Amino acid sequence: MPLSVTTRPVSAALLCLGLAAASAATACGKDRHASGGPAADDIAAAPSSAEANCGVHAACGSNFFLDVVPGPDCVAGATCTVGFALVATGQYHINDEYPYKLKADDAPGVEFLGADAAGKNVFSKAASDWRKRDEKSGVMTLAYRAADKGQKTVGGTFKLSVCSADNCQLEQQRVKATVAVK
């Protein structure tokens, strides 16, 4: 099933238009399948802003992109995971001081298993759901339990930040992933 970003800020749309013209890339938010997304180890080095191709990412913004990191096969009744990887581009890096957080939207047949004090549908750096990989990338992991088999959509609002030597950028991105539950 497709994997997509439901909304993007205007700056992300403008970035994608410029990148499309420069590299004949497809539009931002191109549908991706959870099984075809990048593995966590595939998200090591960040390209420059000019190289970030929105067509191959779940979401793009000014100076960053997001990819879905599928977890292992999900079985109904078991704990399952899916990650959203943030990669800073160009002169930007992960903001070590920012309290990364993803508030998951209610999903039929899905129980979120977050440990954040704000609730089971909140995943955060404070609750150890955020893992910085290197200066340019990190992954927010959502844990959930599906009541039954079938396609389930998980996601929500991801609050993130990337910085350059001169500027820190605070963003909120709507993200979602459709996962197969066996």
CATH 1.20.210.10 assigned to 38-51+63-181: no
Distance, CA of 101 to CA of 89 (rounded, Å): 20
Distance, CA of 10 to CA of 47 (rounded, Å): 22
Among residues 52, 46, 67, the alpha carbon closest in space to that of 16 is found at 52
150-152-80-66 Cα dihedral, nearest 10 degrees: 140
- Assign 53 a pLDDT band (cuts: 50, 70, 90): low
pTM higher than 0.85: no
Single-letter residue type at 153: T
Q: Which residues contact 148 (CB under 8 A, 6 or more apart)?
A: 76, 109, 181
Q: Which residues contact 51 (CB under 8 A, 6 or more apart)?
A: 89
CA 161 vs. chain centroid, Å, equals 13
Mind listing the pLDDT tens digit for each residue in 115-158? 999 999 999 999 999 999 999 999 999 999 999 999 999 999 99
Q: Domain residues of the chain, as ranges?
A: 38-51+63-181
